[in-house]
Chains A and B, each alone.
Chain A
């Protein structure tokens, strides 16, 4: 009995038990704390690690090694995966040259690499995440409701059908005719560059989908003649004054000239 009891209750048993419990809690915390934080975004640790390498090699020159920002580039802590997917996915980042605004160009990274960068930036602080396919599916939205929202919130810069337009000092609102629905959604959510933010409290996710539905309707062939970029009086005036008036002047000169 005595020997059995002594084996059962070793003097260091409580200490071992406490240490084992602490170890278990540590492992469990490490597991739950890291995994669920990114479970919303659906990114893996491997993506975050890969993104960190890509970031250090391609973005850190301006944004800093820890994305803390510098005197000429903003901090990326808390901008979210959506901002990275938009900026890198449309080729605006990495920036080609400094100027009034970063121009869209051919994306420099594959979608897998963009996802890695997004995973890394999202791991630095919570921010808007990339929308789901259902959230940006224009066929599920109401184009008429989208039109009302677009004309109130967007048309003053992007034009009544999304053809784009000029801002100040060389900046401009780009055409939306070839922008993917995901990028339209992300731009509203994150407010890139000059564009203000239209968060989900301002324009709900359903309303954002309505706006996408309206913009997709505008991509069909228009019933009228040449749209001239749907830019309004600037391109139409240029056409009328240069081509139209030019033709009239040319014919007038020809009518009045003497035959050789």
Chain B
């Protein structure tokens, strides 16, 4: 500290004057502080005993109420047991133990010039010994460099390899929807007649035959669809998609274009579709365009029609990749 004095524009204010505590001057206050610390430690003892008693004597017949009561009381007992010790010890130290101020000088961080010179000399000697930059022992240096360069691969390759076996991003550009594939109820897998979808209805849809695919969850994660019927007067069809809906029935991907949460909070009166994760809001009456939130693109629409038996079927797969953006999305 004394070394720095002349180098700064600030003067060292020094330590504040020592102020005795009440417990230092008044024996009554000291006694009171002692009782307070004792009280905190007694709370700890009672808490510990209570937790043990709760474990030993509370009934545990298997009902939810019993489990909840025992967990709550044991938790409260353990909390009091721990916090009582901690607060009692700190109160003891703060009020009754010595409180004189102690000063530890802070030393300059810079090493002495001798030490610095010695270190630099050591480095120079090392470089000279190894012969770096001099054309000697090329084989040795080359193998050393190679060994150093490939050593991280023993860790890096398994790590990257374990990220996933399949590097084909093409598979997330397409779903299992095909021409003529029926839209079916999630989870039953039963087909849906157009007449079943009354105005204001929402059907959660999976593709027909999903359960028979080799990896139903992987397929479901891409192909889930929300089937909604609006009053045809409320539906503003996107130009070019005149034949994608059927008498007010529209089908949209349920995977949010922001980060892929299932978008399914449909408000029947406003025709708004809300994503529960980040509140992206899509307007079903206007091609599911984004009207609020972080999503950048409308939800992809699945072109649907009705087959000869009256069931709703897909015309083809989605025209664009479903879900959030990825580098190769539009390549």
Q: Do A and B come from one complex?
A: yes
B94 within 8 A of A: yes
* Interface majority SS (helix, strand, loop, mixed), chain A: loop
* Cα of A6 to Cα of B10 in the assembled complex, Å: 142
Q: Mark A180-203, 1 if CB is under 8 A from B, else 0.
A: 000000000001011111110110
In the bound complex, residues from chain B placing their C-beta under 8 Å from that of A260 are 21-22
A156-B262, A225-B68 are known contacts. Are A197 and B23 too (CB-CB below 8 A)?
no
Interface stretch among B130-138, B153-161, B274-282?
B274-282
Binds B, one of A12-20, A39-47, A91-99, A215-223: A215-223
A137 within 8 A of B: no
Q: Out of A148, A152, A167, which one reaches B274, CB within 8 Å? A: A167
B266 within 8 A of A: yes
In contact, B202 and A196 (Cβ under 8 angstroms): yes
User: A202 is contacted by which of B65, B71, B201 (Cβ under 8 Å)?
Assistant: B201
Contact A225 B270 (CB under 8 A): no
Cα–Cα, bound, A171→B268 (Å)? 12
Assembly CA distance A201 to B65 (angstroms): 39
Task: Find out whether the CB atom of B186 lies under 8 angstroms from the CB atom of A152.
Answer: yes
> A142 vs B202: C-alpha distance in the bound complex, in angstroms?
23
Contacting pair B200 A223 (CB below 8 A): no
Hey, which chain B residues are within 8 Å of A152, CB to CB?
186-187, 204
**Considering only CB atoms, which chain B residue lies closest to A155 in the complex?**
B264
A196-B228, A225-B71, A260-B22 known; A168 vs B272 contact (CB < 8 Å):
yes
Choose from B71, B95, B198, B279 the contact partner of A199 (Cβ within 8 Å): B198
Cβ A193 vs Cβ B269 within 8 A: yes
How many interface residues does A have (CB within 8 Å)?
32
Contact check, B268 vs A196: say whether CB atoms are below 8 A apart.
yes
- B-chain residues with CB within 8 Å of residue A195 when the two chains form the complex: 268
A222 to B67: give the CA distance in the assembly, Å. 9
Give A164 Cβ to nearest chain B Cβ, in Å.
Answer: 12
Bound-state Cα–Cα, A255 to B93, Å: 10
Query: Smallest Cβ distance from B132 to chain A, in angstroms?
Result: 52
Name the residue of chain A whose CB is nearest to the CB of B229: A197
Select one of B63, B185, B193, B266 contacting A196, CB under 8 A. Answer: B266
The reply to whether A156 and B265 contact each other, CB–CB distance below 8 Å, is yes
Is A157 interfacial (CB-CB < 8 Å)?
Answer: yes
One digit per residue, 1 when the CB lies within 8 angstroms of any chain B CB and 0 when it does not, for chain A 246-260 equals 000000001100111
- Quick check: B262 and A199 within 8 Å, CB to CB? no
A25, B283: Cα distance in complex, Å? 55
CA–CA, A202 to B264, complex, Å? Answer: 16
Residues of B19-70 at the interface with A, using a CB-CB cut-off of 8 Å, are 21-23, 33, 63-65, 67-68
B281 touches A168 (CB 8 A): yes
Residues of B within 8 A of A196 (CB): 200-202, 228, 266, 268
Residue B196, interface by CB 8 Å: yes
A201's contact among B22, B72, B196, by CB below 8 Å, is which?
B196
Contact between chains at B200 and A153 (CB < 8 Å): no
| B247 touches A (CB below 8 Å) | no
A197 contacts across to B, CB distance below 8 A: 198-202, 268
Are A168 and B267 in contact (CB-based, < 8 A)?
yes
Across-interface contacts of B197 in A (CB, < 8 A): 201-202
Within B163-194, the residues touching A (CB, 8 Å) are 185-187, 192-193
Indicate if the CB atoms of B279 and A168 lie closer than 8 Å.
Answer: yes
Give the residues from 65 to 103 in chain A that come closer than 8 angstroms, CB to CB, to chain B.
none
Complex-state Cα separation, A258 to B272, whole angstroms: 57
What's the least CB distance linking A225 to chain B, in Å? 6
The 29 listed contacts between A and B (C-beta, < 8 Å) are: A152-B186, A152-B204, A153-B202, A165-B276, A167-B265, A167-B274, A168-B267, A168-B270, A168-B272, A168-B281, A191-B268, A194-B268, A195-B268, A196-B200, A196-B266, A197-B198, A197-B200, A197-B202, A199-B198, A199-B201, A201-B193, A201-B195, A202-B201, A202-B203, A220-B64, A258-B94, A259-B21, A259-B95, A259-B99
By a beta-carbon cutoff of 8 Å, the part of chain B in contact with chain A is: 21-23, 33, 63-65, 67-68, 71-72, 75, 90, 94-95, 99, 185-187, 192-193, 195-204, 228, 262, 264-270, 272, 274, 276, 279, 281, 292
Q: A195-B268, A197-B200 are known; give 7 further A-B pairs, CB within 8 A.
A: A156-B276, A168-B292, A196-B202, A198-B201, A199-B196, A199-B198, A201-B195
